[in-house]
């Protein structure tokens, strides 16, 4: 199976001014495409060819000989989720089962948002901050580089890319401003609800 970069589920202007068309073109068409191309090249002719993306992420984790496969498969998985869970006019508080589970796990939305912002701000260097299903609860976690909570037996339902390529053109070094704009103006909570329903089956 050859992996393919999905089209964005909105046009390149849709997320401006919070995420510019220029950022989306570079981030999706160049950075994400490179992960997909590298992944396809790296797995060709190996025992991982033909496996699902999730299987490849899990199978390559922690194996020094498969570090490149892990980095690129993880980043492909991470970005596919990232594009899916944003929309024009998104952000703010969720409803539905996501809201109930956020209240159960964190007390209220504002406490969740503070934890998520702190995780995203304090991930040193490149990486991600996540809201993930862990057993019967939700957790905020952060991961370095292309790592994903899947390899820690969690299922991420919301994630923010805090690699500089995700925000530098729009926010320069002001990562906390980017994270706040993501939560307040970009998160597609209806899609996060779908991710949650898939994760809890
Ligand atoms: Mn990225």
End position of a domain, from candidates 54, 84, 114: 84
Q: Are residues 196 and 103 in the same domain?
A: yes
CA of residue 31 to ligand 1 center, whole Å:
6
Whether residue 7 lies inside any domain: the answer is no
**How many folded domains does the chain comprise?**
2
Q: What is the mean pLDDT of residues 42-67?
A: 96
**CATH code of the domain in which 168 resides:** 3.55.40.20
CA of residue 148 to ligand 1 center, whole Å:
13
CA of residue 60 to ligand 1 center, whole Å:
20
Residue 1 has pLDDT above 80, yes or no: no
Which run of H or E residues covers position 102?
helix 96-106
**CATH code of the domain in which 51 resides:** 1.10.287.990
CA of residue 175 to ligand 1 center, whole Å:
14
CA of residue 89 to ligand 1 center, whole Å:
21
Residue 72 has pLDDT above 80, yes or no: yes
Name the residue range of residue 186's domain. 96-200
Whether residue 157 lies inside any domain: the answer is yes
Q: Are residues 124 and 79 in the same domain?
A: no
Question: pTM of the entire structure?
Answer: 0.97
| Separation between Cα atoms, residue 99 and residue 102, nearest integer Å | 5
Q: Are residues 127 and 78 in the same domain?
A: no
Whether residue 5 lies inside any domain: the answer is no
pLDDT, tens digit, 9 for 90 and up, residues 45-54: 999 999 999 9
Q: Are residues 75 and 155 in the same domain?
A: no
Residues lining ion ligand 1 (Cβ < 5 A) are 161, 163
CA of residue 144 to ligand 1 center, whole Å:
12
| Separation between Cα atoms, residue 180 and residue 68, nearest integer Å | 32
Q: What is the mean pLDDT of residues 31-60?
A: 97
The per-residue pLDDT for 143 is: 98
Whether residue 139 lies inside any domain: the answer is yes
Q: Are residues 192 and 105 in the same domain?
A: yes
Q: Are residues 61 and 103 in the same domain?
A: no
User: What percentage of the chain carries pLDDT values higher than 70?
Assistant: 100
The per-residue pLDDT for 201 is: 85
Burial of 62 (0-12, 13-18, 19+ CB in 10 A): exposed
């Amino acid at each position: 199976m050859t992996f393919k970069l999905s089209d964005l589920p909105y046009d390149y202007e849709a997320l401006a001014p919070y995420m510019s068309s220029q950022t989306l073109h570079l981030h999706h068409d160049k950075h994400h495409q490179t992960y997909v191309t590298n992944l396809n090249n790296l797995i060709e002719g190996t025992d991982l060819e033909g496996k699902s993306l999730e299987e490849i992420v899990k199978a390559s984790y922690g194996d020094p000989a498969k570090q490149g496969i892990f980095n690129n498969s993880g980043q492909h998985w991470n970005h596919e989720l990232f594009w899916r869970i944003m929309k024009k006019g998104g952000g703010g508080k969720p409803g539905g089962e996501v809201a109930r589970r956020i209240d159960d796990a964190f007390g209220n939305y504002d406490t969740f948002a503070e934890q998520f912002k702190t995780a995203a701000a304090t991930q040193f260097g490149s990486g991600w901050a996540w809201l993930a299903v862990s057993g019967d609860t939700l957790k905020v976690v952060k991961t370095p580089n292309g790592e994903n909570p899947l390899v820690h037996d969690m299922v991420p339902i919301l994630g923010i890319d805090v690699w500089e390529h995700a925000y530098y053109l729009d926010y320069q070094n002001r990562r906390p401003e980017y994270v706040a704009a993501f939560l307040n103006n970009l998160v597609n909570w209806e899609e996060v609800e779908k991710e949650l329903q898939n994760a809890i089956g």
